[in-house]
Amino acid sequence: MIGYIHGKLLHVEGNEILVDVNGLGYELSIPDSSLAKLGKEGDEITLFTHLVSKEDSLILYGFESLEEKAAFRLLLEVSGVGPRLALALLSRLSPAQLLQALATGEISRLQAVKGVGRKTAARLHVDLKEKARELLSKKGITQHVRPTELAEAPESSIWSDALSALMNLGYHQNEAESALERLGHSSDGHDVEMLIKEALKLLSSRGRNASR
């Protein structure tokens, strides 16, 4: 495993860079946040790396800090979140901002990232909130939700809270998401408890039909 590389920055094109390490060129994909701190072509740089192995390729991702690399790996633990989406999230949010959003359910902050819809944002919160809270606690960072965030996305927060509650009741994430999405716009104006009750009716009805 390649943990980091140190060499000369040869070329930058979008989020792809080429680094010369003792005569060997490494191609890396990096988030915008790291790109902004690279300097200019010809400079010596150090990047922490993560290697993704696919059937037909090996792709190296680079980060300017260990915190950013750790956040990238954390995001990849979520089903449906690949390296490209993880890079997009880290291009928009710092590791600390990302952990805050995951821990406190600031869904609108996650949805502000291109490619992250309500369903994906809710899944990120549900799957990673405990780990995010633990990491923030270790860093001594207070978890808080900004009042503006609560005002911006009450519906998204209610949806993610309902999803979390249904999963705590023993329903699989996919079937809980399916029930909430079937409610669609009919759930507008519902509070969390009402949304959970309506979803439970759907899930109960589906269970009865499956047993016939």
Mean pLDDT of the chain: 83
> What per-residue confidence (pLDDT) applies to 190?
62
Residue 118: predicted pLDDT: 82
Residue 77: strand, helix, or coil: coil
Q: Report how far apart, in Å, the C-alpha atoms of 182 and of each of 67, 146, 160, 209 are.
A: 38, 30, 15, 16
Q: Is 80 exceeded by the pLDDT of residue 168?
A: no
Q: What is the pLDDT of residue 119?
A: 83
User: Across residues 159-178, what is the average pLDDT?
Assistant: 79
Domains of the chain, CATH where assigned: 4-64 (2.40.50.140), 66-145 (1.10.150.20), 153-212 (1.10.8)
pTM of the entire predicted model: 0.70
The one-letter code for the residue type at 66 is L
Per-residue pLDDT of 43-59, as tens digits, reads 999 999 999 998 888 99
Which of residues 178 and 144 earns the better pLDDT score?
178
Mean pLDDT of 145-150: 40
CA atoms within 13 A of residue 15's CA, in its CB half-sphere: 17
Among 17-31, 79-93, 184-198, where is mean pLDDT lowest?
184-198
Residue 148, pLDDT score: 37
Residue 82's pLDDT band, with cuts at 50, 70 and 90, is very high
Q: Which amino acid is at 49?
A: T
pLDDT on residue 208? 52
Strand ranges (E), the chain: 4-13, 16-21, 24-29, 44-53, 58-63
